[in-house]
Structure 1
Amino acid sequence: MKKAEKNLFKWIPILFFILLFCAAWILHDDYGGFTDELSEVEVAAVNFKSILSILGIPEKLPAIPTVNPDSLVEIQDYQYKFYGSAVMMPSLFILLLPGKTINTAQFLNFRRFYTFLNFFLALICSFFLFRLRFHNQWIALLGVTLLVLSPRFFAESFYNEKDMIFFSWFLISLFGIGLYFFKRSTFGLIIFSAAFGLTVNTRNFGIVLLPAFIILSVIELLNSKNRNRKDWILIFFTCGVSLLFYYLFTPFLWLDPIRNFFSSLQFSARQVGIGDAELFIGNFIAPKDIWYYIPVWMGITIPFFYLVLFLIRIVSLTKSCIRNKMPIRFSKPDLWDFFCFSIIAVSIIGIAVFKAVIYHGWRHSYFLYGPFICLSVAGFFDLWTISLPTKKSNLIKNMLLVITCLISFLSTGLWMVRNHPFDFVYFNEIGRYFAQQFTRDYWGVASKRCIQEVDRYYIDGEPIRLGVNADLTYGSAQNSLLRFPEATQAHFQVIWKNENADYLCFSYKNIPGNSHPIPGFEIIKTFQVDGYDVAAVYRRIEKNLP
């Protein structure tokens, strides 16, 4: 009977991932916005064309929706040549399917699901990483649940083609490192090398994984009694292979690797004027000038229970540091957790010291959430394994811990269901009281719901004159409109100037408070979450509109 139960329990994680996959298939096209999406398609197309050209293969690009073939210049002449597209480029291959015609809406919605698949793969890898760290399937499933029930991350896993892709492959890279660290598996090094190439291709900052891997491996070897010369060679061979993968995944490096790499670093650092007026604690600031910008954003948008678990593990790890005095004396679990904490601490300090350009909440630092959750799960494990004087007290303690965990999951899960598809503006139990003082729908993701609301007023005849840039989200509503069926798109005429529009889609981006009157317009619908505005639909007053 015990063997049958054990086999049954093995299927529970599989069932969890199957249900998650099905839920994602249903939900993937519920979000609007993301103004970089069309640019990302063009970046992938230019890179695809360049690969064919450099390899001497006749260029036979498919007809790519939203991309003008005449705009596809050579990569060395392209203004966005430093933007990697290796992960998202395969989404173009669906256009090569024989006998299949794919329109713009179908293509863009497919990319939403494809983006989620990267997050899905990262979740699977995180499950195995947690199982390596804790040797417990239930603790591993707990860790994955923490990631899934992180409202902002779940929502952005469908449409954030840059930061969530970077987060996903950063986490997969950590899984590769963990597989080698805990199991001495060379397969882990292969996973790390390939994932590292895709991570750095997505964002240059992924390069920090290489020194992090070297330092962790060196400390672990110095702490090992069975080290030999082959281990040292393997570490540095892995570094070379990792850089090779990055080179192979990044076409603009093929022409002049060293110069172009440093040019890309300079490009990332000199984005002057971007993010200089972010709404933060009620003031418009440049995030690079506020050292606590990222910690505050993390503190108000991560579920409170996860923060508590994280702090518990930090306290426990600090005690271990005091007791052992140096990382080389750590146990493997403690060394791994110290490694995760170091990534978080060094990254936040580095961003503050070097005044890196960041904006739109803490999305550029989403990659830190993988190590953060590793430590949160470790905090839960610390509480679970605390030994109390009696068996009964241990049972009560663990029951209370499970109940608290379930309450947190139930609360967050119900919040996501209740507020879908506005889960991208989640603020935790503390942050929601101050949400009106922070940037909210910076990508105009709520614009799809706004368009659906305005479409209710359509009457056969002239198209509705829809203003798409009243909120200065660079026409996010127009991008959202592209993802509707062509019959629905025909109901609207896109207008970029308010004075020429009859209806406006307005997402609260850098708008403090809950009031934003627009001269000549009245609000006919407001979308709210926990008492703070996310978006609103405006109608012109002086015209006799339906």
Structure 2
Amino acid sequence: MLRPTALLPDSLRRPLVLSFFLLLAALGIGLHRDYGLSWDEQLDRLNGIISVKYVALRLAPDLARRQPSLAAIPEMSENEDVDHGVIFQMPLVVLEKVLGLEDPRDIYFMRHLVTFFTVLGGVYGFYRLVTQRLGSWFLGLLGAALLVLSPRMFAEAFYNYKDLVFLAFFTLAMYTLTRLLRRPSWLWALSHALATGAALDVRTMGVLLLGFTVGFAALEMWYRPAIRRSLLLALLLYLPTTAAIVVLGWPYLWENPAGNFLAAFQSFSRYRSDMLTQYLGQQISVRSLPWHYAPVWLLVTTPAAYSAAFVAGCTTLAYTIRQQRFSLLRRRTGRQDLLYITWFFAPLAAVVLLHSVLYDGWRHLYFIYPAFLLLALRGVRVAAAAWRTPSGPAARRWSGAALLVVLAGGMLHSAYRIIRDHPYQNVYFSVLPGPVAERLFERDYWGLAGRRGLEWILAQDRKAQVLVGTDARAALVLHNNHLLLPPAERARVVLTSAEQAHYFLTTYRWHPGAYPTSYGPEVYSIRVNGVKILSVFRRP
């Protein structure tokens, strides 16, 4: 089989890969100030602040108590978000102090930039993962490009501290796992423990990595007796080191590591609120989601060309499994394919079978997206091989060429949408017209458009004080996004009730229908590819 790398000489590998990631870094620096403040960001920062206070009181109590702001920070026992790990949040809190950032505008822009670079590290890990499995740096770079050119992922890489950061850490952990299984050593055991611990301290779903590690290590030892001793020793180092990292990076666990971790893990199956979500045109409880909720959301928000490549990859893999059956596992590549299949399908199946609580689309499952792309790239590799084999059947050659053309067109279209929809790529829908998507699904559930709405109001109304209101349940959208205004403009905003406001702003999260004329005339709106995500009404 001809490798896609034959299309480009290996001498181009270093400059192309370096240029690609430098371009992404430049984009992150140039764009990180464009996004609004998402729904959870203030709560995530507060979680980090509470944990930093807890650590300071344990390690340097006398110094900590001399800090004037300490009393205003809640205690760990008062924190409702203790079930969220803080290994990513605590360094951000420390960094804002080291940099001397005081204004919330500067603080959150810094956090957006650091978040993007963290996700960029996960993209690099995915590049290495694909290169290792498919034996092609060209396909590795293509995989990294597919991940970046996924509009929702691109936008959320700046502000989604939970799901995109978890995707990054989980992907890095899967890469370190493949290296550990291939050549067991203390260095890869420690690297894998660090990546696993970081993932677990972002989302407890990271426990999957422990299962993957132990299960596939056992499979590796079964088929490679020569490495049994070294891999077993690596596991004996990996497991306690991972536990230590998880506890060290999550102060909530310090007093009762096992009990508190179990409580945090169980909290995600007992969601605190009976929240409603818009799905297929109806407001339904997040506790009563139909089985197809996650698969449908994945389909309608993933570029259609990527889904076509995924179907091709799964089809070819299923054919290979049917032909070779268990003999496939005798090869390292076959065992890796099983790992990636498990990575994608097992969490998805678990969510469906266990009726897990999800909301805001399928963001809680974003970490399976790299596995989705890995399977898609398998389809691309087979298509490229078919196209470049003159002696093969004509139908196979042309179907391979068609898939490559479709994928190239899909990537170009995704890049176009990322540019055109900026900074609202988070409401990208792949296969639905705007009015249909607007009626069937949640729109800007992050509340990012609230920033632009406030900026427009202040630009149009020059009064010293401007009263702005919204739906009672969406008040956090205004409170968060007014923090990103320059201080002088922020001081002009008075957040109040809808009845007292001069302007009423909505992002349609829990009010998907039109507003009555009693709200006043609509004076401003934002549409993204036909999907209305914000309206501003001038109150009578």
Assess if the C-alpha contact under 8 Å between 1:442 and 1:510 holds in 2: no
1:136-215 correspondence runs (5 A): 136-184=136-184, 186-215=186-215
What's the offset of the Cα at 1:511?
4.1
Assess if the C-alpha contact under 8 Å between 1:52 and 1:58 holds in 2: no
Can you list the C-alpha shifts for 1:368-421, whole angstroms capped at 9, x where unaligned? 112212212222112223374538979877765544332111111011111111
User: 2:494 corresponds to which letter in structure 1?
Assistant: Q
- Hey, what does 2:281 align to over in structure 1? 282
- Hey, what does 2:479 align to over in structure 1? 478
Assess if the C-alpha contact under 8 Å between 1:280 and 1:438 holds in 2: yes
5+ long unaligned stretches in structure 2: 1-5
Question: Relative to structure 1, is the Cα distance of residues 183 and 429 closer, same or farther in structure 2, using a 3 angstrom cutoff?
Answer: farther
Q: Distance in 2 between matches of 1:35 and 1:479?
A: 7
Moved more, 385-394 or 123-132: 385-394
Question: Relative to structure 1, is the Cα distance of residues 512 and 485 closer, same or farther in structure 2, using a 3 angstrom cutoff?
Answer: closer
Assess if the C-alpha contact under 8 Å between 1:88 and 1:115 holds in 2: no
Identity of aligned residues (%): 23
Q: TM-score, normalised by structure 1?
A: 0.90
Match of 1:28 among 32, 51, 54: 32
Match of 1:39 among 40, 43, 66: 43
- Hey, what does 1:520 align to over in structure 2? 519
Question: Secondary structure of 2:535's match?
Answer: strand
Question: Relative to structure 1, is the Cα distance of residues 187 and 381 closer, same or farther in structure 2, using a 3 angstrom cutoff?
Answer: farther
Can you list the C-alpha shifts for 1:14-68, whole angstroms capped at 9, x where unaligned? 111111111111111212131221111111111112222233454449989xxx6
What's the offset of the Cα at 1:462?
2.9
What's the offset of the Cα at 1:479?
0.9
Assess if the C-alpha contact under 8 Å between 2:384 and 2:404 holds in 1: no
- Hey, what does 1:449 align to over in structure 2? 452
- Hey, what does 1:381 align to over in structure 2? 381
- Hey, what does 2:107 align to over in structure 1? 107
Question: Relative to structure 1, is the Cα distance of residues 326 and 57 closer, same or farther in structure 2, using a 3 angstrom cutoff?
Answer: farther
Question: Relative to structure 1, is the Cα distance of residues 512 and 484 closer, same or farther in structure 2, using a 3 angstrom cutoff?
Answer: closer
Question: Secondary structure of 1:429's match?
Answer: coil
Q: Does 1:493 align with 2:497?
A: no
Assess if the C-alpha contact under 8 Å between 2:38 and 2:446 holds in 1: yes
Question: Relative to structure 1, is the Cα distance of residues 129 and 149 closer, same or farther in structure 2, using a 3 angstrom cutoff?
Answer: same
Q: Distance in 2 between matches of 1:63 and 1:441?
A: 39
Q: Distance in 1 between matches of 2:179 and 2:65?
A: 39
Q: Does 1:413 align with 2:415?
A: yes
Question: Secondary structure of 1:493's match?
Answer: strand
Can you list the C-alpha shifts for 1:164-188, whole angstroms capped at 9, x where unaligned? 2211111111111122234556543
Question: Relative to structure 1, is the Cα distance of residues 345 and 288 closer, same or farther in structure 2, using a 3 angstrom cutoff?
Answer: farther
What's the offset of the Cα at 1:486?
0.6
- Hey, what does 2:14 align to over in structure 1? 10
Q: Distance in 2 between matches of 1:326 and 1:5?
A: 36
Q: Distance in 2 between matches of 1:153 and 1:385?
A: 29
Q: Distance in 1 between matches of 2:246 and 2:518?
A: 52
Question: Relative to structure 1, is the Cα distance of residues 287 and 346 closer, same or farther in structure 2, using a 3 angstrom cutoff?
Answer: farther
Q: Distance in 2 between matches of 1:489 and 1:63?
A: 27
Q: Distance in 1 between matches of 2:66 and 2:44?
A: 16
What's the offset of the Cα at 1:470?
2.5
Can you list the C-alpha shifts for 1:171-222, whole angstroms capped at 9, x where unaligned? 1111111222345565433222111111111111111110112112221222
What's the offset of the Cα at 1:328?
6.3
User: 1:203 corresponds to which letter in structure 2?
Assistant: R
- Hey, what does 1:224 align to over in structure 2? 224
Assess if the C-alpha contact under 8 Å between 1:440 and 1:508 holds in 2: yes
Question: Secondary structure of 2:37's match?
Answer: coil
Question: Secondary structure of 1:279's match?
Answer: strand
- Hey, what does 1:507 align to over in structure 2? 507
Q: Does 1:537 align with 2:536?
A: yes
Match of 1:438 among 429, 432, 441: 441
Question: Relative to structure 1, is the Cα distance of residues 398 and 262 closer, same or farther in structure 2, using a 3 angstrom cutoff?
Answer: closer
Q: Distance in 1 between matches of 2:167 and 2:228?
A: 34
Q: Distance in 1 between matches of 2:508 and 2:66?
A: 37
- Hey, what does 2:3 align to over in structure 1? none
Assess if the C-alpha contact under 8 Å between 1:504 and 1:539 holds in 2: yes
Q: Distance in 2 between matches of 1:63 and 1:152?
A: 41
Can you list the C-alpha shifts for 1:142-184, whole angstroms capped at 9, x where unaligned? 0000110111111011111112221111111111112223455
Moved more, 422-431 or 16-25: 422-431
What's the offset of the Cα at 1:344?
2.4
Q: Distance in 1 between matches of 2:429 and 2:523?
A: 25
Question: Relative to structure 1, is the Cα distance of residues 13 and 538 closer, same or farther in structure 2, using a 3 angstrom cutoff?
Answer: same
User: 2:344 corresponds to which letter in structure 1?
Assistant: I
Moved more, 504-513 or 139-148: 504-513
User: 1:40 corresponds to which letter in structure 2?
Assistant: D
What's the offset of the Cα at 1:271?
1.8
- Hey, what does 1:303 align to over in structure 2? 303
Can you list the C-alpha shifts for 1:467-508, whole angstroms capped at 9, x where unaligned? 1x327334212211111211221332222x101101122112
What's the offset of the Cα at 1:89?
1.5
Q: TM-score, normalised by structure 2?
A: 0.91
What's the offset of the Cα at 1:75?
2.4
